Structure 1
Amino acid sequence: MVEQDWVGERFAEHQDRLHAMAYRMLGSPGEAEDAVQEAWLRVSRAGTGQVENPGGWLTTIVARVCLNMLEARRNRREDSAGALPDEPQTGIRPTGPSGPEDEALMADSVGVALMVVLDALTPAERLAFVLHDVFAVSFAEIGPIIDRSPAAARQLASRARRRVQGAAGASDAARSAKREIVEAFLAASRDGDFAALVELLDPDAVVGDLRGGEEVAAFFAGRAQAARLALVDGVPAAVWSHLGRPKAVMTFTVDGDRVTRIDVDTDPDRIRDLDIVVLPADGGERR
């Protein structure tokens, strides 16, 4: 009983980190929860007499569970590239030379592009990159998990990092262009500039039951007075708030330099789960 209590206490102590690690390796909150539950079943049955580093021991077990799940996913040829991160993204990609701390933050900053790139990596590449660059696990510890030498694990992480860096640049460029379009749309809407709205909208633009660029432009002309530019789960969007609380979120689908679709979500439960960062006029950020 004493040993079981010790295991339960150590697992509870590290559970948040284990879940975050599983989430970044698997890209799905549900699968991350399954991985942590499977890890708990394993550790609750294991002997702990030789455990000197509980955090490292638990990390290894969760990583191996995730590796098995990734390999099974790959074998089933699942296409999980559409999985989007649900938790807040706090990293900021550096613009200058990168050091270890910068690389450790990179994964969170890439957002959706990261998830797409990670799904294209082999399970071993994915684990080596996430464990080392995001969670600072040494290659000496990573090697046995993926049945590689530390040097081979380092090479796998380096290869994955190069692909992620490329995705980060592409993602930043796409977000920057979309941000300009959304910002221009909100300005034209606030000013009631019908011509500018038509120019920004695709001729076949859709908003709810509205169809066609001119119809959508007529609806939005003069309407977005209280809407503010924001990042919603890292993507440029617009948010309307009341008494400091987001009440409506407008997301934009952009093709080239035109808006093809606008979705307005007012469901409080869905909005509560979003990571919303309102962008003031000076280009800063506030949550």
Structure 2
Amino acid sequence: MTTETATDVFEAHRPVLLGVAYRMLGRVADAEDVVQEAWLRWSGSDRGDVREPRGYLVRITTRLAIDRLRQIKARGETYVGPWLPEPYVTDFGDTVPDTAERAVLADSVSLAVLVVLESLSPLERAVFVLREAFGFPYADIAAMLDRGEPAVRQLAGRARKHVEERRPRYEVDPAQRRDLTERFLAAAADGDLEGLMELLAPDVRLVGDSGGKARAPLRVLETADKVGRFLVGAARKSDPDLSLRFLELNGGPALLFLSGGKPDSVFQLDVADGRVQAVYIVRNPDKLRSLAAV
């Protein structure tokens, strides 16, 4: 296999590798580092006996992501305020034409699910991602992780139960989410508390992630009254020169606010029963860097 062919093969599988790494880590920069390391190992290895490049590359990437995740957990870093995954641009385009498959991929990369995945062990998280998001057979996952198939099935069952018990039941219909997002934005911008209250579920939650590096609530806000009043107050204090872009992040519509052309914050909503069930705000500048070039 020539160097050019090796590059072509790797680039063809890069979206899957980045998808696996991001779901494992919840951090774009770390995921990109892992994929780059996978490339170095791929380009420097003897590929003559590799029959299935996709499985081989996913195996390398998964193991590197597990190592990185263990390092992160071992550091035991304390985070200021609530933690959310780094916003991740998702546009499956024509590569995932099947509606059901798109829904699975979108759900597996949603902020709500990634927050739950943070509580899994690295091995449980790897098995869950490979099985639930990418549909790898148990036998293939066992080979990737050097585990017996019965052990992998046990890990998968434990991880699935954990996620199902903690994952909020939100709809992933992008059209409804886009419509509610636009109405939500208009009501907040107009300071229309009554209009916001009509859109918010009674037990709505607002999660703000600033890492202590920008203004955002340091605790999760709950109930429509508290969330609505906070949003109206924040809109009144916001920079009038902020510009706005709609884009797809983590499998759903999101609002990207820019100040002076640089990312300032990301807003995303989770929706069910025609109401906003959760509001996510990411303002940690470290988590917005990857959106600068979007």
- TM class by shorter chain equals 0.5 to 0.7
Deviation sequence 1:229-276 (CA, Å, 0-9, x none): 999767887899xxxxxxxx99599xx99x9x9x9xxxxx96984xxx
Q: Structure 1 residues 116, 252: CA separation in 2 closer, same or farther (over 3 Å shift)?
A: closer
Q: Distance in 2 between matches of 1:43 and 1:113?
A: 33
Contact residue 85 and residue 114 of structure 2 kept, 8 A: yes
In structure 2, give the amino acid aligned to 1:16. Answer: P
Contact residue 189 and residue 197 of structure 1 kept, 8 A: no
Aligned to 1:88: 90
In structure 2, give the amino acid aligned to 1:196. Answer: E
Deviation sequence 1:107-163 (CA, Å, 0-9, x none): 522611111111110000010011111112221121133332112112212222223
Q: Distance in 2 between matches of 1:59 and 1:165?
A: 25
Aligned to 1:14: 13
Q: Distance in 1 between matches of 2:256 and 2:72?
A: 36
CA RMSD of aligned residues (A): 4.8
What is the percentage of aligned positions where both structures have the same residue? 28
State the shift of 1:68 in Å.
Answer: 1.0
Q: Distance in 1 between matches of 2:8 and 2:186?
A: 51
> Normalization by structure 1: what TM-score?
0.59
Q: Distance in 2 between matches of 1:102 and 1:142?
A: 22
- Higher relative CO (Cα under 8 Å, sequence separation at least 6) belongs to 2
Q: Distance in 2 between matches of 1:3 and 1:250?
A: 43
Q: Structure 1 residues 231, 167: CA separation in 2 closer, same or farther (over 3 Å shift)?
A: farther
Deviation sequence 1:189-235 (CA, Å, 0-9, x none): 88xx9783697643895235549xxxxxxxxxxxxxxx9x9997678
Structure 1's unaligned 5+ residue stretches are 91-100, 212-226, 241-248, 264-268, 274-287
Provide the secondary structure at the position in 2 that maps to 1:202.
helix
Q: Structure 1 residues 116, 50: CA separation in 2 closer, same or farther (over 3 Å shift)?
A: same
Contact residue 18 and residue 62 of structure 1 kept, 8 A: yes
User: In the alignment, which of 176, 194, 197 is matched to residue 196 of structure 1?
Assistant: 194
Q: Structure 1 residues 125, 233: CA separation in 2 closer, same or farther (over 3 Å shift)?
A: closer
Aligned to 2:161: 162
State the shift of 1:180 in Å.
Answer: 7.8
Q: Distance in 2 between matches of 1:29 and 1:164?
A: 22
Provide the secondary structure at the position in 2 that maps to 1:38.
helix
Q: Distance in 1 between matches of 2:103 and 2:268?
A: 27
In structure 2, give the amino acid aligned to 1:207. Answer: A
Q: Distance in 1 between matches of 2:67 and 2:266?
A: 39
Q: Structure 1 residues 270, 188: CA separation in 2 closer, same or farther (over 3 Å shift)?
A: closer
1:25 aligns with 2:24: yes
> Normalization by structure 2: what TM-score?
0.58
